[in-house]
């Protein structure tokens, strides 16, 4: 198995040729449903129904599960789609039968159980389907962007987040919490340093929570000596990461910091990170910068060329 390489093939076919239990981590963002047409016969994202889209992704990720080591992690970035054809709803403008500005009519105009303008719920449909297929669904992370793409909508809030799911092959798996830990808040540090009077709200057990947290126990002095006081906390599941410009001809490149965070937590140094929807190569770029190896799979040859120029490596 070649490392630091880009495979120009359909994801499912390429995964079938990789050895079992050979990669440590997968970080990927498949094409979103009914959003773009890349003009490729075997592309994912242009299926007639959301159910067909989910079925195809489950099949790809089932093969990924075979390739992943037993202690491997799978980080999946996926966004949602609205049912309908934009502002036209169920109405097709006779002047623009193919969609406004020559765009194709949305494939999401018919989704079972959805009305026009309904949010389909693609991320959770996929997450539940993967869980049913044997994956452990360990975390639902919100990737929040302070600089999202503007939306010309007036009847709902503008979207500023996407989902990142942490899935695993086994109940026990590699996870380096310290590598992505966050600094504790100044208010938390002050609580550690200070005393705590008895009889406050959290002095006893909170219903359903069991033991009293150490930081809330009554005490006359600080809970920790200054030298022993923790300086970090476990990373929360809302990640504030802005998008970054990418000048190449790929319109859905996610920011390197997103991939870096997943890799730091989910892949040991020297390990192998796989991305079966490699695009412009952000996952590979992040892996190389963190002393990990990468394998990228990408159907579109032009994107393989972009990725190779961006990060080096071979194309097979």
Neighbouring C-alpha atoms within 13 Å toward the C-beta of 293: 13
Answer yes or no: is pLDDT of 221 > 90.
no
Phi, psi of 55, deg, nearest 5: -60, -45
pLDDT reported for residue 194: 74
pLDDT reported for residue 312: 77
Q: Which two tokens stand for residue 102?
A: 């020559």
Contact 283, 28 (CB under 8 A): yes
Contact 184, 230 (CB under 8 A): yes
pLDDT reported for residue 159: 94
Torsion sign across C-alpha atoms 98, 101, 104, 108: negative
Distances (CA, A) of 75 to 67, 101, 176, 204, 313: 15, 35, 14, 38, 23
- Tens-place pLDDT, residues 2-38: 999 999 999 999 999 999 999 999 999 999 998 877 7
| Cα–Cα dist 121/249, whole Å | 29
Answer yes or no: is pLDDT of 230 > 60.
yes
* Residues near 272 by beta carbon (within 8 Å), at least 6 away in sequence: 3, 22, 23, 24, 25, 292, 293, 294, 295
pLDDT reported for residue 152: 87
- Tens-place pLDDT, residues 193-209: 776 766 677 666 777 77
Give 264-284 as a 3 state SS string. HHHCCCCCEEEECCCCCCHHH
| Cα–Cα dist 8/5, whole Å | 10
- Tens-place pLDDT, residues 253-301: 789 999 999 999 999 999 999 999 999 999 999 999 999 999 999 999 9
- Torsion, Cα 241 38 61 277, to 10 degrees, reads -50
- Exposed e or buried b per residue across 103-121, where buried means at least 16 C-beta atoms within 10 angstroms of its C-beta: eebbbbbebeebebeeebb
Q: Which two tokens stand for residue 149?
A: 């793409």
- Tens-place pLDDT, residues 37-73: 777 888 999 898 999 999 999 999 999 999 999 999 9
pLDDT reported for residue 212: 73
Distances (CA, A) of 65 to 1, 72, 169, 261: 17, 9, 6, 21
- Tens-place pLDDT, residues 65-122: 999 999 999 999 999 999 874 433 343 444 444 444 444 455 666 688 898 889 999 9
Tell me the β-bridge partners of 182: 233
């Amino acid at each position: 198995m070649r490392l630091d390489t880009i495979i120009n093939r359909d994801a499912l076919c390429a995964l079938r040729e990789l050895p079992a239990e050979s990669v440590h981590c997968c970080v990927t963002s498949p094409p979103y449903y009914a959003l773009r047409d890349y003009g490729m016969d075997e592309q994912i994202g242009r299926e007639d129904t959301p159910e067909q889209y989910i079925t195809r992704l489950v099949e790809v990720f089932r093969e990924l599960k075979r390739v992943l080591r037993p202690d491997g992690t799978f980080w999946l970035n996926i966004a949602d789609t609205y049912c309908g054809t934009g502002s036209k709803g169920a109405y097709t403008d006779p002047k623009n039968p193919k969609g406004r500005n020559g765009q194709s009519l949305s494939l999401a105009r018919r989704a079972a159980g959805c009305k026009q303008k309904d949010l389909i719920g693609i991320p959770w449909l996929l997450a539940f389907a993967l869980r049913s297929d044997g994956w452990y669904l360990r975390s639902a992370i919100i990737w929040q962007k302070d600089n999202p793409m503007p939306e010309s909508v007036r009847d709902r809030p503008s979207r500023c987040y996407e989902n990142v799911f942490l899935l695993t092959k086994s109940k026990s798996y590699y996870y380096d919490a310290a590598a992505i830990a966050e600094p504790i808040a100044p208010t938390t540090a002050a609580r550690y340093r200070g005393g705590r009077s008895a009889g406050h709200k959290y002095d006893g057990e909170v219903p359903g929570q069991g033991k009293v947290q150490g930081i809330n126990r009554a005490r006359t002095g600080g809970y920790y000596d200054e030298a022993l006081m923790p300086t970090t906390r476990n990373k929360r599941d809302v990640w504030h990461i802005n998008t970054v410009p990418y000048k190449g001809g790929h319109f859905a490149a996610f920011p390197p910091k997103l991939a870096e965070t997943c890799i730091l937590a989910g892949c040991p140094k020297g390990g192998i990170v796989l991305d079966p929807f490699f695009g412009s190569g952000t996952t590979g770029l992040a892996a190389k910068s963190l002393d990990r190896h990468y394998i990228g799979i990408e159907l579109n040859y032009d994107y393989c060329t972009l990725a190779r120029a961006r990060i080096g490596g071979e194309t097979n």
